[in-house]
């Protein structure tokens, strides 16, 4: 296929009433939903009632969206403390689905959805797919992982809401991916950007690009650059779009970029975004960088109030050239913590430490993570010190240790790692906050 040039692009908008709503109307809608949601969590979630009581805030104090700053924050640690079902606002039997992601200490971060939450999720992804020029006539090849991870299921629900054909490939086995893409006549595909580029190059090498009917790709769940997007677009002759989401809020479909690529449009009728200054949590002006914070305005299962994503970005509220009035968040410039996204999986250095300690010997809990991008795929190398007691002069035993460490880390992180054993006492010791991660990906 050939990439559609901007001047020939025909913008389609799934829900123009919402997506092109005036600021005033949107504020009114958000206010109405927030007031209802705050009353809901106060009455049904002990955690929020206590937090609000501690702050001396009553549901009656929240009269509109502008009062949101009176409300308490929610953090990933709060989710962990209330794992797995402590933050539900409905009885458990109303939960239709759970999805999860890795947490900071080996426990999952679990999100619970009612059937209505699932429908809203699908609707939001469908808005994004429409933004990418897709319709009910399209066939969407989904090579995000299916399972607890929201990627595969999110795109699947979106395809369903759109009325398109979903091809649930899940990740891995590139040869088979390309074969199915060609045989089933997929017109779009969805996966992490790094895998998209890997697939594109594999298609080029196999000489099958001309036989594919792909016209668009939806890529997200890890940071990528405009250059990378252009590379995917030029190899496959397609238009690529960035999708953003996090499982705590709903999964992919919280925001997506349009053909103008001037930031990702946030579906603020459901997910109210704030950008807050990292120093004093005051609201940032448009264009000013701060921490992205979300409030789920209509979520039933596990509503979150002012959830701190720890992602750093800025927001723009001016109307986009595509016609949408939805605010746009820019590509993330960093995190307020040391989490890394590796092949779409959240990895916290502390998880490595916990896993190494759980081995009960062999290696010391001193480590260094090195993230590289080789052949467009993220590679995580973990340097681990061999414990002096377990040190052996036999390579076979050291290799066994290496394999064991690799298996333990894969289990803990959900992503395969390369283990590099290093001499005892050679990794920098913690003096306050030791640097535990080196990220060589130039993003």
Partner 1 sequence: MGFSITIQQLSVFLENREGRLDEVLKVLAKNDVNIVALSLADTSEYGMLRMIVSEPEKGKAALKEEGITSMLTEVVALRVPHAAGSLSKAMHQIVEEKVNVEYMYAFANGSDAAAVLKSDDPEKVVEVLKKSGFDVYGADEAYRANQ
Q: Which residues bind partner 1 (CB under 8 A)?
A: 386, 388, 391-396, 398-399, 420-426
Q: CA angle 354-357-359, nearest 5°?
A: 115
Give the SS3 label for residue 97.
strand
**Which is nearer to partner 1, 237 or 424 (by Cβ)?**
424
Residue closer to partner 1 by CB (options 43, 388) is 388
What DSSP element (H or E) covers 353?
Answer: helix 349-358
Cis peptide before 267 (omega within 30 of 0): no
Which residues, other chains included, contact 359 with Cβ-Cβ below 8 Å and sequence gap of 6+? 404, 405, 408
- The SS3 assignment for 398 reads helix
Query: 95 or 369, CB closer to partner 1?
Result: 369
Q: Report the DSSP beta bridge partners of residue 294.
A: 273, 307
What's the closest the beta carbon of residue 437 comes to partner 1, in angstroms? 20
Alpha-carbon span 288 to 316, nearest angstrom? 9
Contacts of 433 (CB under 8 A, 6+ apart): none
CA distance 428 to 419: 17
Q: Min. distance of Cβ 391 from partner 1 in angstroms?
A: 6
The sheet carrying 334-335 orders its strands as 271-276, 290-296, 307-313, 334-335
DSSP, collapsed to helix, strand or coil, labels residue 296 as: strand
Count the helices and strands in the chain (H runs, E runs).
11, 21
Which of 31, 70, 30 lies closest to 51, judged by CA?
70
Q: Which is nearer to partner 1, 34 or 384 (CB)?
A: 384
Residue 380 CB, shortest distance to partner 1, in Å, is 16
Q: Min. distance of Cβ 345 from partner 1 in angstroms?
A: 24
The residue (of 47 and 391) whose beta carbon lies closer to partner 1 is 391
Nearer to partner 1 (CB atom), residue 1 or residue 427: 427
Give Cβ neighbours of residue 442 (< 8 Å, ≥ 6 apart): 225, 373
Indicate the residue among 140 and 384 with the shorter CB distance to partner 1. 384
CA distance linking residue 345 with residue 60, whole number of Å: 40
CA–CA separation, 391 vs 361, rounded Å? 11
């Amino acid at each position: 296929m050939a990439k559609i040039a901007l001047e020939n692009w025909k913008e389609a908008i799934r829900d123009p009433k919402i997506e092109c709503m005036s600021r005033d109307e949107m504020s009114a809608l958000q206010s109405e939903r927030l007031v209802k949601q705050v009353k809901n969590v106060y009455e049904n979630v002990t955690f929020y009632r206590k937090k609000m009581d501690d702050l001396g805030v009553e549901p009656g104090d929240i009269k509109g969206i502008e009062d949101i700053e009176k409300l308490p924050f929610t953090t990933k640690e709060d989710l962990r403390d209330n794992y797995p079902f402590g933050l539900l606002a409905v009885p458990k039997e109303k939960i239709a689905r759970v999805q999860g992601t890795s947490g900071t200490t080996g426990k999952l971060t679990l999100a619970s959805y009612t059937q209505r939450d699932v429908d809203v999720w699908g609707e939001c992804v469908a808005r994004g797919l429409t933004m990418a020029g897709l319709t009910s006539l399209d066939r969407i090849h989904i090579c995000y992982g299916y399972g607890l991870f929201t990627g595969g299921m999110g795109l699947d629900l979106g395809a369903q809401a759109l009325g398109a054909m979903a091809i649930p490939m899940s990740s891995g086995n590139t040869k088979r991916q390309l074969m199915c893409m060609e045989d089933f006549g997929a017109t779009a595909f969805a996966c992490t950007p790094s895998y998209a580029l890997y697939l594109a190059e594999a298609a080029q090498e196999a000489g099958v690009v001309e036989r594919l009917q792909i016209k668009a790709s939806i890529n997200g769940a890890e940071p990528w650059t405009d250059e990378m997007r252009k590379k995917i677009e030029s190899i496959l002759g397609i238009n690529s779009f960035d999708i953003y989401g996090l499982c705590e809020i709903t999964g992919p479909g919280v925001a997506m970029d349009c053909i103008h690529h001037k930031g990702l449009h946030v579906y603020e009728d459901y997910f109210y975004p704030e950008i807050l200054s990292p120093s004093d949590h005051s609201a940032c002006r448009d264009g000013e960088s701060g921490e992205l914070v979300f409030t789920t305005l209509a979520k039933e299962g596990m509503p979150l109030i002012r959830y701190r994503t720890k992602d750093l970005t800025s927001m723009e509220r001016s109307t986009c050239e595509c016609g949408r009035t939805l605010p746009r968040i820019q590509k993330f410039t960093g995190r307020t913590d040391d989490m890394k996204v590796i092949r779409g999986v959240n990895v916290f250095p502390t998880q490595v430490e916990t896993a190494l300690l759980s081995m009960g010997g062999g290696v010391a809990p001193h480590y260094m993570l090195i993230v590289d991008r080789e052949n467009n795929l993220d590679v995580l190398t973990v340097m681990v010190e061999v414990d002096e007691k377990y040190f052996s002069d036999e390579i076979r035993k050291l290799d066994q240790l290496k394999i064991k460490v690799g298996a333990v880390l894969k289990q803990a992180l959900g992503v395969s790692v390369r283990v590099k054993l290093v001499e005892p006492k050679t990794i920098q010791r913690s003096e306050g906050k030791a640097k535990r991660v080196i990220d060589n990906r130039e993003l």
